[in-house]
């Protein structure tokens, strides 16, 4: 499996999880989501053009950063009245970059048809839905943002890239105040076959 193919799979997986989180947390009316099949797994995907455009632009940037080895983490944060809520979803893909060649070779040899990946994806989506059920409903008027954790050099490059003038990136100003004693990390799952490690972080 080539680097480009593996990169496409990672970005597609991120798209599925972003849509799935927004669906299970009821941030938008359920009517804007339609059931689709992705790698033989049933998922709900947005059909709302403004939301789709936002996610598309985020993933387009994430793919470029990831291919250059500059994407460290993708974070979905809910907030209300500009104040972050105590709910954050972190998609850690550092492992994918660190062991990229090994993972490419292992995927090609051990999971050529992505059967193991499909199983892990279905399991991850199920676990995610089950683990967010006990959470309190989001407050009315809640919003979300997606942050891409990268290097300062990559941020400067994006700021001067004409391809991103219609979707500019800013340094994140919504930084939740964390107390070490208040942080609880709940590992959600890890997609070993493509090197995408997912963590659900609630603090």
Residue 82's pLDDT is: 84
For 11-39, the pLDDT digits (tens) are: 898 999 999 999 999 999 999 999 998 87
Give all domains of the chain, ordered by start, each with its CATH number.
3-202 (3.30.900.10)
pTM for this structure?
0.81
Which is more confident, 85 or 165?
A: 85
For 57-106, the pLDDT digits (tens) are: 999 999 888 888 788 888 899 999 888 888 888 887 755 544 555 555 55
Nearest Cα to Cα of residue 93 among 124, 60, 66: 66
């Amino acid at each position: 499996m080539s680097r480009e193919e593996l990169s496409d799979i990672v970005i597609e997986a991120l798209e599925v999880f972003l849509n799935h989180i927004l669906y299970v947390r009821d941030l938008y009316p359920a009517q804007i989501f339609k059931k689709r099949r992705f790698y033989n797994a049933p998922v709900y995907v947005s059909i709302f053009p403004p939301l789709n455009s936002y996610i598309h632009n985020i993933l387009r940037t994430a793919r470029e950063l990831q291919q250059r080895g500059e994407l460290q983490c993708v974070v979905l944060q809910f907030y209300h009245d500009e104040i972050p809520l105590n709910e954050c979803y972190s998609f850690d893909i550092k492992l994918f970059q660190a062991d990229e060649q090994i993972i490419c070779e292992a995927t090609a040899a051990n999971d050529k048809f992505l059967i193991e990946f499909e199983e892990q994806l279905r399991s991850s989506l199920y676990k995610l839905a089950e683990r967010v059920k006990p959470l309190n409903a989001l407050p009315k008027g809640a919003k979300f943002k997606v942050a891409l954790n990268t290097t300062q050099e990559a941020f400067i490059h994006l700021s001067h890239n004409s391809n991103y003038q219609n979707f500019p990136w800013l340094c994140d100003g919504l930084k939740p105040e964390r107390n070490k004693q208040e942080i609880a990390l709940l590992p959600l799952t890890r997609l070993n076959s493509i090197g995408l490690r997912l963590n659900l972080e609630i603090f």
